[in-house]
């Protein structure tokens, strides 16, 4: 790795294969870095975390008093820094309604087949949620069709539907995306096509009645128990807005799927093989099914918080760099875990994500303190309902306050490093856009190394709020902590992370303590500040790498400008 440490001057293009246009990328002047460093301090980071993660905010569960207090705090901080209201109707808030649906699925789900009738047992064989926000969901005597991966990806010349009419049918789909060829769907990196959310959306676009995703542990990245626990209770969504919807979102175990397909006179192994070819066409299964179930539907209200620092360039100020961090967490819940005798039931969410909010506020302070404002506008967006499924950022992406083609980039913070400085920084979703080069140059200027995600098959890029921006075509940056801590033995970071996942992550113990140190978080926040500043100053907006899964959405958004 080449390291640039020419004082604080970062010449992005020096380490890139730059085109003539990119060669004009401006450097970050010393004066700008000096201002940012004076603002992004341990105190500036610790104070918001102390407030947001305090017991008084009761874990910031959506639509609670703690949620309202957190939003008021964030909005008033932005106001005090000179950020203008970036929400609706001249306020700092954008209202987000959240719908909760609890489906009461039948204990057995019956199918009639050419090779005999078959029933799948709830939980053992199948798990499902409602696709509609109505008191009743129903599928009436629908035929089943195997549609392979259920993917349509023009950039890979891949279409599992081949124009076949699947309206009103129940689609049986394989999980993940093709992963056996590095040239197809980025090899073993899970793209959005490989996520279950894509599968259900894809079926809805085609007017299908329902979907059964075939679960295998390798293709999901987690065992069947995770499907059971995450789909068992209330599911949260944005309110329906007339978009196409399927009635039923189901999963089946591989064994149940094998028996089901066999009852239709087919062989799952052969279908899986057939699905691996581009020439695959949907296969009717000689199976029919009916299912009807009741839903309990609830609705609560929360909000995103947004503030804008208008750009200084008369033309470019219509474009915006959006920083995002979710402000919500789980509120008050059951005391966890075995062995916890404190009875603590407040999910403070200090790391997740008071730390992300604090980094945004510190970056906001730095932007506001600059003697000259960046050319493009800068938005700080604190989104709601991330823990319920990226709901706040999804709502913003569907109702953006800037046209998607005018959003230059998104930089998302979910979590923060409180263990000290690291030699590395992990980039989730590396290899997708021109933002990589900026990130690499900034990280190397700190004498650190930018490393790609260690678990590309898990699809982390699609599991925090930057994904909502990518989906509408906005190039997005998202980092995870480094693991190689300065002054700590080899493996210490990984061990600490594993301990944290086991004992802290999404538990009442995610709290601010005196052991937290901020020198590592400062460096990570400086990367975000620098990336946003460079994007805001550049003549041209960042671009997806050619052939990226989100390039088509960007082209559409730019064409609409």
Residues near Zn ion, by CB under 5 A: 352-353, 414
| Shortest Å, Cβ 463 to Zn ion | 9
Q: Which is nearer to Zn ion, 516 or 544 (CB)?
A: 516
CA–CA distance, 390 with 401 (Å, rounded to integer): 18
Q: Which backbone phi and psi does 95 adopt, to 5 degrees?
A: -65, 135
CA–CA distance, 213 with 253 (Å, rounded to integer): 9
3 state DSSP class of 294: strand
Q: Which backbone phi and psi does 415 adopt, to 5 degrees?
A: 105, 180
Q: Which is nearer to Zn ion, 64 or 353 (CB)?
A: 353
| Shortest Å, Cβ 497 to Zn ion | 15
| Shortest Å, Cβ 171 to Zn ion | 32
| Shortest Å, Cβ 261 to Zn ion | 38
Q: Which is nearer to Zn ion, 353 or 393 (CB)?
A: 353
Q: Which is nearer to Zn ion, 282 or 392 (CB)?
A: 392
| Shortest Å, Cβ 327 to Zn ion | 10
Q: Which is nearer to Zn ion, 327 or 419 (CB)?
A: 327
DSSP code of residue 376 = S
Q: Which is nearer to Zn ion, 293 or 500 (CB)?
A: 500
Q: Which is nearer to Zn ion, 460 or 533 (CB)?
A: 460
Contacts of 133 (CB under 8 A, 6+ apart): 99, 101, 237, 239, 240, 295, 297
| Shortest Å, Cβ 384 to Zn ion | 12
| Shortest Å, Cβ 465 to Zn ion | 9
Cβ contact 399:522 at 8 Å: no
Q: Which is nearer to Zn ion, 353 or 446 (CB)?
A: 353
Cβ contact 25:442 at 8 Å: no
| Residue 235 host element (H or E) | strand 235-237
Q: Which is nearer to Zn ion, 189 or 464 (CB)?
A: 464
HSE-up of 145 (CA within 13 Å, CB side)? 25
| Shortest Å, Cβ 366 to Zn ion | 23
| Shortest Å, Cβ 480 to Zn ion | 11
Helices 65-80 and 355-369, interaxial angle, to 10°? 20
| Shortest Å, Cβ 386 to Zn ion | 6
Contacts of 396 (CB under 8 A, 6+ apart): 94, 304, 381, 383, 468
**Count of Cβ atoms closer than 10 Å to residue 107 Cβ:** 9
Q: Which is nearer to Zn ion, 348 or 353 (CB)?
A: 353
Q: Which is nearer to Zn ion, 219 or 417 (CB)?
A: 417
- CA 402, chain centre distance (Å): 20
Quote the tokens at residue 33: 């870095």
| Shortest Å, Cβ 55 to Zn ion | 19
| Shortest Å, Cβ 429 to Zn ion | 16
CA–CA distance, 355 with 493 (Å, rounded to integer): 18
CA–CA distance, 273 with 146 (Å, rounded to integer): 12
DSSP code of residue 350 = I
3 state DSSP class of 59: helix
Q: Which is nearer to Zn ion, 26 or 389 (CB)?
A: 389
Q: What are the C-alpha distances in Å from 168 to residues 146, 186, 400, 456?
A: 14, 32, 32, 35
| Residue 302 host element (H or E) | strand 283-309
Cβ contact 479:323 at 8 Å: no
Q: Which backbone phi and psi does 348 adopt, to 5 degrees?
A: -65, -30
- CA 423, chain centre distance (Å): 26
């Amino acid at each position: 790795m080449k390291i640039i440490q020419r004082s604080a001057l970062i010449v992005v293009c020096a380490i890139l294969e730059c085109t003539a246009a990119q060669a004009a990328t401006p450097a970050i002047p010393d004066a700008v870095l000096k201002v940012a460093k004076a603002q992004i301090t341990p105190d500036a980071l610790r104070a918001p975390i102390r407030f947001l993660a305090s017991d008084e905010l009761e874990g910031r569960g959506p639509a609670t008093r703690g949620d309202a207090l957190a939003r008021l705090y964030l909005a008033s901080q932005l106001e005090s820094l000179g950020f203008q209201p970036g929400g609706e109707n001249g306020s700092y808030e954008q209202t987000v309604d959240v719908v909760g649906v609890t489906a009461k699925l039948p204990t057995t789900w019956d199918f009639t087949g050419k090779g005999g009738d078959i029933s799948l047992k709830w939980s053992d064989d199948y798990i499902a949620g409602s696709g509609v926000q109505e008191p009743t969901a129903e599928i009436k005597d629908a035929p089943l069709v195997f549609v392979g991966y259920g993917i349509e990806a023009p950039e890979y010349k891949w279409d599992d539907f081949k124009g076949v009419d699947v309206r009103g049918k129940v689609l049986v789909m394989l999980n993940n995306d093709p992963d056996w060829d590095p040239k197809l769907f980025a090899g073993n990196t899970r793209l959005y096509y490989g996520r279950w959310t894509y599968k259900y959306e894809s079926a809805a676009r085609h007017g299908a009645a329902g979907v059964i995703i075939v679960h295998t542990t390798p293709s999901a990245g987690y065992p069947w128990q995770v499907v059971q626990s995450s789909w068992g209770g209330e599911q949260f969504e944005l309110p329906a807005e007339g978009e196409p919807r399927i009635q039923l979102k189901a999963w089946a175990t591989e064994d149940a799927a094998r028996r089901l397909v066999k009852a239709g006179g087919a062989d799952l192994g052969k279908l899986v093989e057939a699905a691996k070819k581009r020439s695959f066409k949907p296969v009717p299964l000689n199976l029919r099914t009916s299912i009807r179930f009741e839903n309990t539907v609830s609705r609560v209200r929360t909000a995103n918080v947004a503030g804008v620092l208008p750009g200084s360039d008369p033309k470019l100020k219509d474009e915006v760099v959006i920083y995002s961090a979710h402000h919500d967490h789980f509120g008050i819940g059951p005391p966890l875990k075995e062995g916890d005798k404190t009875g603590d039931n407040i999910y403070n969410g200090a790391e997740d994500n008071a730390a992300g909010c604090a980094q945004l506020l510190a970056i906001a302070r730095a932007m506001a303190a600059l003697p000259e404002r960046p050319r493009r506008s800068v938005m700080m967006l604190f989104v709601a309902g991330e823990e319920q499924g990226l709901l706040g950022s999804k709502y913003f992406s569907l109702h953006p306050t800037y046209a998607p083609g005018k959003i230059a980039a998104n930089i998302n913070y979910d979590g923060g490093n409180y263990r000290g400085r690291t030699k590395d920084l992990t980039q989730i979703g590396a290899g997708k856009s021109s933002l990589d080069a900026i990130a690499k140059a900034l990280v190397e200027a700190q004498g650190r190394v930018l490393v790609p995600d260690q678990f590309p098959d898990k699809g982390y890029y699609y599991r925090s709020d930057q994904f909502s921006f990518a989906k509408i075509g906005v190039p997005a940056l998202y980092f995870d902590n480094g693991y190689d801590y300065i002054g700590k033995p080899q493996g210490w970071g990984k061990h600490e992370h594993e301990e944290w996942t086991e004992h802290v992550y999404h538990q009442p113990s995610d709290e601010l303590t005196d052991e937290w140190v901020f020198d590592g978080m400062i460096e990570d926040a400086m990367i975000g500040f620098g990336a946003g500043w460079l994007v805001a100053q550049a003549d041209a907006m960042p671009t997806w790498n050619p052939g990226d899964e989100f390039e088509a959405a960007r082209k559409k958004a730019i064409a609409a400008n």
